Amino acid sequence: HKRVVDEPAASPATSREQNGKRRKVLDTSKNANDVRLQLFRDEKILESIGRFLDPQSLLRCQRLTRTIRKFFTLDSLWLSLCVQRFGPIHVRQWKENFFDDNNEQEVDSLVLYRKMDAANVKPVIGSLPIIAETRMENKISAWVNIIERSNGETYRSVQQLNENGSTRFSSLPVAELRLFIQNTGCSNAIRIKEQSIFVDASTRRRGEEWQEITHDARFEKRVLDSQEVPISPSEKEKENNMMVTLPLYKTATIVVFVHCKGCSTTSKFQRRANFTKVYLQMNGITIPLVIPFFRDS
């Protein structure tokens, strides 16, 4: 049998001390709650918080109380996000179209953002037609353009290495592609790994990949920003074998030259190309982003 030992009763002085400590904790907790309430009632603070959030976080904030919710659906806030992601030209065009379709009623910017996001609108970078496109919802989007000559031909004079180390120039079919990649919803930056870009041209009977040209400096792969200015990787990016880092809404253009065997024109390239692939790092995980080409009808 266990012996039951009665604990000595606390002295009056000890009880008063413990009660005093409890009151201090309660007072501190109450003061902290009061401070939080004051913060959530301050319109300027809530608006400032909203400008630091990504779209998905803003939508989650709409599940809060009605008083707080209205600050995360402000038209000015979502209009700013529209301009950052899609560019002012596209936003103005879409607003004008909605204005005409809705009997001259101004469209809400949150609705406009959702419509443009569903259509995967590309930021205004160049005016070339899109020949390939993909998206990972609320994460990343990608588009591909091809640079066409006036005659539509693809043949270029390319420097090649001989077995003895000497160089020669050969006429090869070369497709100049521009891959536009945009972070469309990740609050954490997306990193594009250093890699060799290829285009899959496989058929049912045989596999085939068109590789990028790496033995001629004139056709060297390069990365541009939204203003067509070359981007050089930082020392840290070089150490981690990264090509470029994309914070929220940043767009990078990868210019790559592919040896498209058997395609003397860009139209033949579009008929045979299946997809290209880019490896990305999101939240520390490397994933392949497959970009399928449209079939040229």
Return the axis-axis angle of helices 88-101 and 109-118, rounded to nearest 10°.
Answer: 110
Tens-level pLDDT at each residue, the chain (297 residues): 445 555 555 555 566 566 655 555 545 555 555 545 555 555 666 666 666 677 777 777 766 666 666 667 778 888 888 999 999 999 999 988 876 565 566 778 888 998 999 999 998 877 788 999 999 998 999 999 999 888 889 999 999 888 787 888 999 999 999 999 999 988 889 999 999 999 999 998 989 999 999 989 999 999 998 888 999 888 888 888 899 999 999 999 999 999 999 999 999 999 999 999 999 999 889 999 999 999 755
> Nearest 10 degrees: CA dihedral of 151, 176, 216, 227?
120
Is residue 68 a contact partner of residue 40, using CB atoms and an 8 Å limit? yes
Angle among Cα 238, 241, 244 to the nearest 5 degrees reads: 75
Closest among 175, 85, 94 to 125, alpha carbons compared: 85
**Range 156-173 burial, b when 16+ CB lie within 10 A, else e:** bebeeeeeeeeeeeeebb
pLDDT at 51: 67
pLDDT at 2: 47
In angstroms, the CA 79 to CA 81 distance is 5
In angstroms, the CA 284 to CA 188 distance is 10
Rounded to the nearest 5°, which phi and psi values hold at 24? -65, -45
Q: What is the pTM (predicted TM-score) of this model?
A: 0.79
Helical residues (DSSP H) of the chain, grouped into ranges: 12-41, 43-50, 55-61, 66-69, 75-86, 88-101, 109-118, 235-239, 266-272
